[in-house]
Amino acid sequence: MTPKNELLFCALGGSGEIGMNVNLYGCRGKWLMVDCGITFADPAYPGIDVILPDLQFIEDRIDDLVGIVLTHGHEDHIGALPYLAEDLGVPLYATPFTAGLIRGKLDEEGIADRVKLKLVKYGERIDIKPFGVTFVPMSHSIPEASALVIDTPEGKVFHSGDWKLDATPVLGNPASPEELTAIGDKGIDVLVCDSTNIFNKDASGSEASVRVGLAETVGRAKGRVLVTSFASNAARLHTLGQVARETGRRLCVAGRSLDRILKVAKATGYLQDFPETIDPEAAMRLPRNKVLIVATGGQGEARAALSRVAEGSHPISLDAGDAVIFSSKQIPGNEVAIGRIQNLLAARGVEMVTERQAHVHVSGHPGRPELAKMYEWLRPEVLVPVHGEVRHMMEHARYGLSKGVPKTIVQSNGDIVRLLPGGPKKLGNAPIGRLVLDGDVILPADGSTINERRKLALNGQISVALAIGRDGRAIGRPQVRLQGVPVEDERQAFVDDAVDAAAQAVRGGKRGIDRTREDVRLAVRKVATRWTGKKPVVDVLLIEA
């Protein structure tokens, strides 16, 4: 589909899910991409950490893609760029802090010199024809989070990005109500808006208020204190730097991603008064009440610093009398992983504090009062909820209508929606999907490799090797090897049974190699099913002697 004298919208990720944000705007035969993020894999993808969006729709129209505009530096908005940006072959547009994070990722992949990255300034319109884009500073949990005013021949869109209202931000200078009202006075036809916290009846709260809660909690602690938060939450890092000073503790930062954020923040003018940090070894030599540790892993990530601390495999050690503060919100789906870490810490006698026990976290997304103010300031004709699961977006649409927004549409990934003229209308569907990063290889998320791995994870594998003569009969005894088949103490008895079944399946005669291989496979799997109730993957290697 080629956009004509109309403004189209199509999400390739981030609608109906939280994460992997990719949005397309189409006008006058051209497409503009906003964000290109990742999501993190769950146990349904064994061996996989990162999931990428499938951009086949826009890759088929690559000559019509004019650029990629990045709202901010969170992984769910920029994380796919190191793997996909080079092939897309268009300029990236970002503010200095976001660009610094992107450049670091491109450097790690060795493609920084092959991807054009353009810096933008707030309030300065950039022409990516037929689109005119102006970045608007917003509050969020990372510096330089931006909304976008996207001006087209068909009308004007305010793309909110991730945002909140914060009257006392600790980093940056977000747009004021007066500035947002002035944008609305110039006319906003469509508001494409963050739905994450639509069910929150209260405003998100100010980052400045968290400092008090953290300082009180750390101040009461008698031993070591470890605070875990999202690495990209530079505002929280700033707050923790202040808390370390106020409580007389040295600050230790544990995690590569935290080091990266600190480096980029300082290089772009943020965290200039951040206290000097110490390494884990130095932290362990200090009195227990003189160190404050900041670590990644609050969502239960298996390879992150907190998980390794809980398992006892990290240079940082925690014991009875120490405390861990979870200064982040638990993301739905991570309950089991977080619970595992908390149980390991509890077994060590470590006290745990979450936002339920103390004021140690505020969200970076708008609650209902903030959304209502945004509608009031911008006065859009159309509301398009994004950045949420289906239930979030449905509720956001209902709430917008109740607050006087004339029209709204709930779209899903792949829906091609005409925004203007004439109001929102679904026109068709774009192909969507997921890719996985498996080592250094990008694969379809539901392709044969991942499906085979799921089968192996669920049922295990049996390998059978045997030699057959020219008469089609077995030579010697088959060899059987098990991986992940649940037989434990009876393993040898099972193997003997499988060997007998494989040998009996080789009947001789002119049956052909393929038929013989299948007979052996089925015979061995039948044994496995009888023993275990499972159907493991059975691989048969026949050697013709």
Cα Rg of the chain (Å, integer):
28
Q: Prior bond to 536 cis, omega within 30? A: no
pLDDT score for 350: 97
pLDDT, tens digit only, all 545 positions of the chain? 788 899 999 999 999 999 999 999 999 999 999 999 999 888 789 888 899 999 999 999 999 999 999 999 999 999 999 999 999 999 999 999 999 999 999 999 999 999 999 999 999 999 999 999 999 999 999 999 999 999 999 999 999 999 999 988 888 889 999 999 999 999 999 999 999 999 999 999 998 899 999 999 999 999 999 999 988 899 999 999 999 999 999 999 998 889 999 999 999 999 999 999 999 999 999 999 999 999 999 988 888 899 999 999 999 999 999 999 999 988 777 888 899 999 999 999 999 999 999 999 999 999 999 999 999 999 999 999 999 999 999 999 999 999 999 999 999 999 999 999 998 999 999 999 999 999 999 999 989 999 999 999 999 999 999 998 888 788 889 999 999 999 988 999 999 999 999 999 987 666 788 899 999 999 999 999 999 999 999 999 999 87
Task: Identify the structural domains of the chain with CATH numbers, from first to last.
Answer: 7-202+363-444 (3.60.15.10), 207-353 (3.40.50.10710), 460-544 (3.10.20.580)
In contact, 316 and 276? CB cutoff 8 Å: no
Give the other-Cβ count within 10 Å of 97's Cβ.
Answer: 24
Picking from 48, 67, 82, the residue whose alpha carbon sits closest to that of residue 434 is 48
Give every CB contact of residue 26 below 8 A, 6+ residues apart in sequence. Answer: 1, 2, 3, 6, 7, 8, 9, 10, 32
DSSP string, 214-257: HHHHHHH-SS-EEEE--TT-HHHHHHHHHHHHHTT-EEEEE-HH
DSSP at 63: G
pTM: 0.91
Q: What distance in Å separates the CA atoms of residue 169 and residue 363, rounded to the nearest whole number?
A: 13
Picking from 212, 218, 211, 203, the residue whose alpha carbon sits closest to that of residue 170 is 211
In contact, 294 and 321? CB cutoff 8 Å: no
Give the other-Cβ count within 10 Å of 61's Cβ.
Answer: 18
| The two structure tokens encoding residue 229 | 């938060």
pLDDT score for 508: 66
Q: What distance in Å separates the CA atoms of residue 111 and residue 208, rounded to the nearest whole number?
A: 38
pLDDT score for 171: 87
pLDDT score for 236: 93
Q: What distance in Å separates the CA atoms of residue 215 and residue 204, rounded to the nearest whole number?
A: 20
Q: What distance in Å separates the CA atoms of residue 15 and residue 196, rounded to the nearest whole number?
A: 11
Give every CB contact of residue 391 below 8 A, 6+ residues apart in sequence. Answer: none
In contact, 419 and 157? CB cutoff 8 Å: yes
Q: What distance in Å separates the CA atoms of residue 301 and residue 74, rounded to the nearest whole number?
A: 17
DSSP E strands, 139-245 = 145-152, 155-159, 190-194, 225-228
In contact, 529 and 535? CB cutoff 8 Å: yes
Q: What angle do CA 142, 147, 149 make, to 5 degrees?
A: 160
Q: What distance in Å separates the CA atoms of residue 492 and residue 242, rounded to the nearest whole number?
A: 62
